[in-house]
Structure 1
Amino acid sequence: MAEQPPPREDLAARLPPTGTYRLQLHSDFGFAEASALVPYLHRLGVSHLYLSPVLQAVAGSQHGYDVVDHSRINTELGGEAGLVELADKAHAYGLGVLVDMVPNHMALVAPLSTNRPLWEVLRHGRSASTAHWFDVDWDHVGGRFPLPLLGETPAEAIAAGTLALDRTGGPAGEPVLRYHEHIFPLADGTRNDGDTATDVAAMLDKQHYLLACWREKDDVLAYRRFFDVDGLVGVRVEQQDVFDATHEKLVDLHRRGVIDGFRIDHPDGLFDPQGYLEQLDAATGGAWVVVEKILEGDELLPTSWPTAGTTGYDALRAVQQSLVQPTSAALEEVWDDARRGVSTDLVSVELRAKREVLAGLLQPELRRLTRVAVQAATEAGEQVEPSAMSAALTELLVAMDVYRAYVRLDHPVDDESAGRLRAAVERAHLTRPDLTAQLVTLERLLLDAFATSAAGRDLIVRFQQTCGPVMAKGVEDTTFYRWFELVALSEVGGDPGTVEEPSVSTLHSWAAQQAAQHPTGMTTLSTHDTKRSEDVRARLLAAAGDADAWRAAWQPIRAAADRLGVDRPTAYLVLQTLVGTWPIELERLAEYLVKATREAKRRTTWVDPAADYESRVVDLARTVSENPALRNVVTGLIAA
């Protein structure tokens, strides 16, 4: 006999959430599959289903953060009818439904025609009705939308025949330019029927977009991205009509009682996070909302934000720090040996990593920011050299120790935001005293919240939007793959330095602050973004408590690494990964180690992978997994 749901509770009884269960939806696990789990989740004691993004995403998306159409619920998941059925069943069991919302960006991937607002911009350029949707520096490449996604130059692609006219390849059967899986619209009156390279080149020159090789992106790319992801283009939800168009469907579902609350993805990328949350609060009539906000050190979530709190990375850090055991001479001996050839100072590693990502991955953002800063200074009556301004911006971005300083246009700057920015300026000055004049100019411009200059206002916002990518790519995605004292602490929102001073006081302080300011906010130990699950991290923290066994395990692993030509920091990562995840399939382990070494960007990278080095790292993992003596080292440490 089918299980009968309990008596239905009303909406008020379902809020606030007391225990969420996140479901990662995709084409093989949609609303119907989620619905089948509802009775089990009810028995488990969950109060709310916590759904990954549900709007129409790129075909085959495994995560849903690459939205292409805000007006539809993802058909691959079951469409709007499927979502309503899932919500009805959840509500019948007394469970609420929370949905992940992605306001910061949309997908820019093949086929581009699935993103209709973007397709209109590519076809009509700056005159398109949706041109204001996207954060683009139109003047950078002569009023055209830059698309550095070719594998070669346009001339080479045309000569090879890979970039050509497709007479019926458009979404409505219209002519387009085609490059492999990519199609590009033709502006009105620009089509010709010739097939020669000259004909195609002539057509391409008349379009509202500029095609380029991906290796030219530093010079060409001029739209705001999500971090360094070219395929996610920034959306300007600060424009009221853009907000309305991108939120109408989910707000309506909330109004109808289908959705009970929201998780907001990456608010720090927005023009004005507080202003956005106020818009959302007004549109939903005060929905329960949490924000994906990473707090650093003693940073607190602004109390002026209309939100229940964060998604819980601050809780993760506090709980985890309380489980760190005091270090010993034996453990420090292992660390010193494993760090051979790399810096022994975490702060130095972080600063270097930030500089590297600004010099590489985030060059388009730095160059655009420099152009804006030079213009803002000029409009303020100051002449600065672009190279000096770029250097000053680099030092200031490196010195920022939070994901954003919340300076709001046309609002007085609060003391905390001003203090954080001034402290960063001082740190940058100590590093580069030769840039004092430029740093003083930047400090004045960045704190002038009532600026009337268009460039000055743009600088204030764009600088803050760039801080997050520098922190994320420099710390989370580089430093945390280089610093291996105890990898359980190298986590999103975490602080590996806490291993030096373990304490439960942080947990007590966090709990008191949370109870006072955000009692209905979320806590978490694992998310889709954490590098390791909580059980892996807990095992590593426990195993590290037996320092003598840890040292005994490291010695044979180190010897094997030396024989195979694997550097010791990476060998130490291999050891900890095996201890935390054992037993693990070699294929999955190899995929992770390749990712980790590429993210570290020391001996191999995503752009220029070093196959021989990666092979040696995988060979080390295979050797430890398959050699009985070495395998016993790992299992023995776990058992201890």
Structure 2
Amino acid sequence: MTSIRATYRLQLNKDFSFADAQALVPYLDSLGISHVYLSPILRARTGSTHGYDTVDHSTINPELGTEAEFRALVSALQQRDMGVILDFVPNHMGVGGANNALWLDVLKHGPQSRYAEWFDIDWHRQRPGMEGKLLVPFLGSSYAQALAAGDLRLKADSDGFAVWAYDGDKLPIRPQDELALLERYGSADAAIAALTGQPGHAGSWAALDSLIAGQHWRLAHFAVAADEINYRRFFINSDLAGIRIDRPDVFEHAHNLIFALIADGLVDGLRIDHVDGLLDPKGYLEMLRERTPRPIYLVVEKILAPHEQLRADWPVDGTTGYEIGAQLTRLLTPARAEAAVTAAYRDFVGDGPEPGEEAYRCKLRVMDNELAAELSGLARLFATVAWSAGATSDLTELGLRRALRETLAQLAVYRTYVDDKGGAPRDGREIARAVAMAQRSQPQIQPPVFDFVRALLCGSLSTGYDPRAIASAIGRFQQLSGPVMAKGLEDTALYRHNRLVALNEVGAHPDRFSLSIAAFHDSNRRRLGSHPQCMIATSTHDTKRGEDTRAIISAIADAPDVWRSAVEQWRSDLAPHGDRIHPNDLYLLFQLVIGGWPIAGAADALADRLKGAMVKSLREARERSDWGVNATDYEATVSEFIDQLLADVGFFEHFHATRRHLQDIGRRKGLIQAALKLTIPGIPDIYRGAEDWEQSFVDPDNRRYLDFGALAARLAEPVTGRDDKLLLTRDLLALRRRLQRLFAHGSYEPLDCGPETLGFRRRYGTDQLLVLADLSAGHTSPIAPLATDLRTVIGSSEGPVWVLATP
């Protein structure tokens, strides 16, 4: 296996194929990358822009290219001593559409399908008529409206009859109904004609309605999912259905092709997506290590709470590094500014809940709405356990639902890892804390309810309970806690608390304003000791803002008084148009404009990019708009205001003076961030284009077209500059290539360089590395004298960060 020094993430889709990736190999080699890190390559839903909606584990996605083209890409890499890491999705599959043969078989045969147990489906829901049925919430209107409008049609193909919704979603009918149709009408064409009504005339569709009523599926409006979904989803995405990867037959099916590629020497590592969605993450990872044909690099997408460490007993090389990106942002955000930044926000927006309270409220909100069905299903499982023994038979399902709702909202980690025998002490502490806080918050709930919840989750119930029911309840609680945290905190609260949105990222909590130099050193030493090959990520396909967007926005903390005066001036400049925008949304927009204004190049496409980012932010915040019920008038008002803002001459006279000041600070922060990522313990991952200034907004903006030709041309130019991030990245990657043993195995020694200068040394044998970074707002820390005093290391570089190494 090629030694892993640095990875480069590429987002594959129909517009960026294996062939496109192969064309980049010379550029990535000259940049200094050792491994190309690809988004999922297995067959996904047609037109997928991300690949996380796998529909066939046995086939490479034809929209990306053929297996031969994938092998050609790998060959081109291996000729340069480079390799491939793949993103793999074990938690769920894409459903809907017409491409997932496993899902279509389940729709056709119901509980009797050979794949019925491969998906997490509850075939026994309480709603009358739903026994043995699967809810399919893919309609854009009510079922009755879709039927009357002619949006549902009976068709036939080589697989038999199926009802098609909007000509896109295929819903096969039962085999016995196929036979009955052919017996009655004589041919497929005659049957289709007989069951096709006239659009706009509801009564003319009665025969099709009668056929649909007898199927193993119930077609419904997408909003029904929140209340009645009966299969496990990825978060709240109904078109991503959870699979039972803990079953040996599912594991075997899902990994056959991936293992074959590994066995052929084509793949050096895997990134496991959403490991917390699995019933037994540790068991899955152990099985993966055992079954993988040869040793591979293995990292997991695991979101860690600020106080949480990756499990030492998981057989992985580390996480995908989201937590390290959050640390770097906070390291570059001065603690002394917190009060001033908070005051500026409150004066502009008004009083509101603190970040922790906001996250708590948003978790409750998502359980009352988008995840209501999942919470009810969990309460039903807990009630089943309670009712199986006389000691707890008086507990009610509704009472357990209320207690579970509050406990999930109080949980401080994404999930715990216990089974019916208990878990590690840290799991017990997290559960006990959450239950205690829930009980304090909801004293009207009878104490025995919380006692039961705590005992069940900690594996300490007395004898007499059904162990299988206990295991199901514990497992589902842990599979739900992650979505509650993700949708409540990441995808709602982080779009509401806009004090300093550089802090609002995946793996970060906005109440953690800053990180001390000492805490940063401590984190690096722990990583070197436990997971020295952990990935380090500063921009990813998941981040809400690119790393340099964040760096510039965080410069607000270096000049809070300048910022405070500026936003008040801008609001005055843009009145009365800005008065139609809620102050919290306006405050977010001002930060996005500052952070996203290009450091280099024109701002021609900025308006459309800002509009897309703001509309998504409004819907994620779920206050003045929402994904389910779009406030299109308000969204249009915000979009119109963006056009007005970017055309306002008076505004720009004031804007650019502040923008230049903050951008100068942010540029220095971006260079420090890049240098630290490439020198601290771990494997740096560079998201597509982030070797240069990365000023994306939330997806899909971070998947927009990238001019790799221009980057390659700049990299080939023999011109350097103190603020050229691309060349800094190239030079440090070259250093990683030259001093591979030092970066893989070298020590990490913090240096005391004063309150505003970060310094550390790394050594391996005779090789040494010294890194010094000026964290002061004015770029005034005495780096040069410090470097001069440390004469065991030679070489230098200009700018806010110095990296000196042995020749």
Q: Common fold, TM-score beyond 0.5?
A: yes
Q: What residue in structure 2 maps to residue 324 of structure 1?
A: 333
Q: What residue in structure 2 maps to residue 597 of structure 1?
A: 618
Question: Which residue identity does 2:414 align to in structure 1?
Answer: Y
Whether 1:468 aligns to 2:485 is: no
8 A contact 1:34–1:86 mirrored in 2: yes
Q: What residue in structure 1 maps to residue 557 of structure 2?
A: 544
Over 3 Å counting, the alpha-carbon distance change for 1:623 and 1:160 in structure 2 is closer
Q: How big is each residue's C-alpha offset from its partner over 1:261-309, in whole Å with a ceiling of 9 and x where there is no partner?
A: 0000000000100000011101114421000001001101101100000
Q: What residue in structure 2 maps to residue 179 of structure 1?
A: 165
1:441 shift after superposition: 0.9
Tell me how far apart the structure 2 counterparts of residues 202 and 89 of structure 1 sit (CA, whole Å): 57
Whether 1:100 aligns to 2:79 is: no
Over 3 Å counting, the alpha-carbon distance change for 1:627 and 1:161 in structure 2 is closer
Q: What residue in structure 2 maps to residue 149 of structure 1?
A: 138
Question: Which residue identity does 2:150 align to in structure 1?
Answer: G
- Choose from 207, 230, 243 the match for 2:251: 243
Tell me how far apart the structure 2 counterparts of residues 45 and 296 of structure 1 sit (CA, whole Å): 32
Q: What residue in structure 2 maps to residue 109 of structure 1?
A: 96
8 A contact 1:98–1:262 mirrored in 2: yes
Whether 1:637 aligns to 2:648 is: no
- Choose from 500, 507, 522 the match for 1:493: 507
Question: Which residue identity does 1:572 align to in structure 2?
Answer: Y
Tell me how far apart the structure 2 counterparts of residues 532 and 138 of structure 1 sit (CA, whole Å): 41
Whether 1:453 aligns to 2:467 is: yes
Further displaced range: 361-370 or 302-311:
361-370
Tell me how far apart the structure 2 counterparts of residues 551 and 402 of structure 1 sit (CA, whole Å): 34
Question: Which residue identity does 2:114 align to in structure 1?
Answer: S
Question: Which residue identity does 1:275 align to in structure 2?
Answer: G
Tell me how far apart the structure 2 counterparts of residues 467 and 561 of structure 1 sit (CA, whole Å): 44
Tell me how far apart the structure 2 counterparts of residues 95 and 561 of structure 1 sit (CA, whole Å): 55
Question: Which residue identity does 1:521 align to in structure 2?
Answer: C
1:223-622, aligned counterparts within 5 Å? 223-284=231-292, 285-325=294-334, 326-327=336-337, 330-343=340-353, 345-381=354-390, 382=392, 383-410=394-421, 412-435=422-445, 436-448=447-459, 452-499=466-513, 501-559=514-572, 560=574, 563-583=578-598, 584=603, 585-622=606-643
Tell me how far apart the structure 2 counterparts of residues 183 and 624 of structure 1 sit (CA, whole Å): 45
Tell me how far apart the structure 2 counterparts of residues 188 and 502 of structure 1 sit (CA, whole Å): 62
Question: Which residue identity does 1:18 align to in structure 2?
Answer: R
Over 3 Å counting, the alpha-carbon distance change for 1:425 and 1:28 in structure 2 is same
Q: What residue in structure 1 maps to residue 107 of structure 2?
A: 122
Tell me how far apart the structure 1 counterparts of residues 140 and 48 of structure 2 sit (CA, whole Å): 23
Q: What residue in structure 1 maps to residue 218 of structure 2?
A: 210
8 A contact 1:20–1:46 mirrored in 2: yes
Secondary structure at 2:124's aligned position in 1?
A: helix
Secondary structure at 1:175's aligned position in 2?
A: strand
Q: What residue in structure 2 maps to residue 34 of structure 1?
A: 21
Question: Which residue identity does 2:358 align to in structure 1?
Answer: V
1:413 shift after superposition: 1.5
TM value normalised by structure 2: 0.75
Identity %: 37
8 A contact 1:58–1:68 mirrored in 2: yes
- Choose from 90, 104, 109 the match for 2:77: 90
Q: How big is each residue's C-alpha offset from its partner over 1:577-596, in whole Å with a ceiling of 9 and x where there is no partner?
A: 00000144211111111111
1:447 shift after superposition: 1.7
Tell me how far apart the structure 1 counterparts of residues 525 and 493 of structure 2 sit (CA, whole Å): 30
Tell me how far apart the structure 1 counterparts of residues 144 and 326 of structure 2 sit (CA, whole Å): 51
8 A contact 2:119–2:244 mirrored in 1: yes
Secondary structure at 1:133's aligned position in 2?
A: coil
Q: Considering only aligned residues, what root-mean-square deviation do their CA atoms show, in Å?
A: 1.7
Tell me how far apart the structure 1 counterparts of residues 148 and 646 of structure 2 sit (CA, whole Å): 50
Q: Structure 1: any 5+ residue segments left out of the alignment?
A: 1-10
Secondary structure at 1:569's aligned position in 2?
A: helix
Secondary structure at 1:189's aligned position in 2?
A: helix
Tell me how far apart the structure 1 counterparts of residues 640 and 568 of structure 2 sit (CA, whole Å): 18
Q: How big is each residue's C-alpha offset from its partner over 1:73-122, in whole Å with a ceiling of 9 and x where there is no partner?
A: 111111211111111111111111100000000001212xx111111111
Question: Which residue identity does 1:408 align to in structure 2?
Answer: D
1:157 shift after superposition: 3.3
Q: What residue in structure 2 maps to residue 8 of structure 1?
A: none
Q: Structure 2: any 5+ residue segments left out of the alignment?
A: 182-190, 196-203, 662-807
Tell me how far apart the structure 2 counterparts of residues 442 and 34 of structure 1 sit (CA, whole Å): 51
TM value normalised by structure 1: 0.94
1:312 shift after superposition: 0.2
8 A contact 1:72–1:79 mirrored in 2: no
Question: Which residue identity does 1:269 align to in structure 2?
Answer: G
1:330 shift after superposition: 4.7
8 A contact 2:388–2:466 mirrored in 1: no
Q: How big is each residue's C-alpha offset from its partner over 1:428-448, in whole Å with a ceiling of 9 and x where there is no partner?
A: 111011223211111111122
Secondary structure at 2:316's aligned position in 1?
A: coil
1:542 shift after superposition: 2.3
Further displaced range: 529-538 or 434-443:
434-443
Q: How big is each residue's C-alpha offset from its partner over 1:185-239, in whole Å with a ceiling of 9 and x where there is no partner?
A: 1111113234253322222122111222223223431100000000000010000
8 A contact 1:579–1:635 mirrored in 2: no
Further displaced range: 230-239 or 141-150:
141-150
Q: State which structure, 1 or 2, has the greater radius of gyration over its C-alpha atoms.
A: 2
Q: How big is each residue's C-alpha offset from its partner over 1:589-610, in whole Å with a ceiling of 9 and x where there is no partner?
A: 1111111111111111111121
1:338 shift after superposition: 2.6
8 A contact 1:265–1:291 mirrored in 2: yes
Q: What residue in structure 1 maps to residue 119 of structure 2?
A: 134
Q: What residue in structure 2 maps to residue 163 of structure 1?
A: 152
Q: What residue in structure 2 maps to residue 6 of structure 1?
A: none
Secondary structure at 2:238's aligned position in 1?
A: strand
8 A contact 1:218–1:364 mirrored in 2: yes
1:60 shift after superposition: 1.2
Question: Which residue identity does 1:434 align to in structure 2?
Answer: Q
1:173 shift after superposition: 5.7
Q: What residue in structure 2 maps to residue 3 of structure 1?
A: none
Q: How big is each residue's C-alpha offset from its partner over 1:525-555, in whole Å with a ceiling of 9 and x where there is no partner?
A: 0000001111111111224311221112111
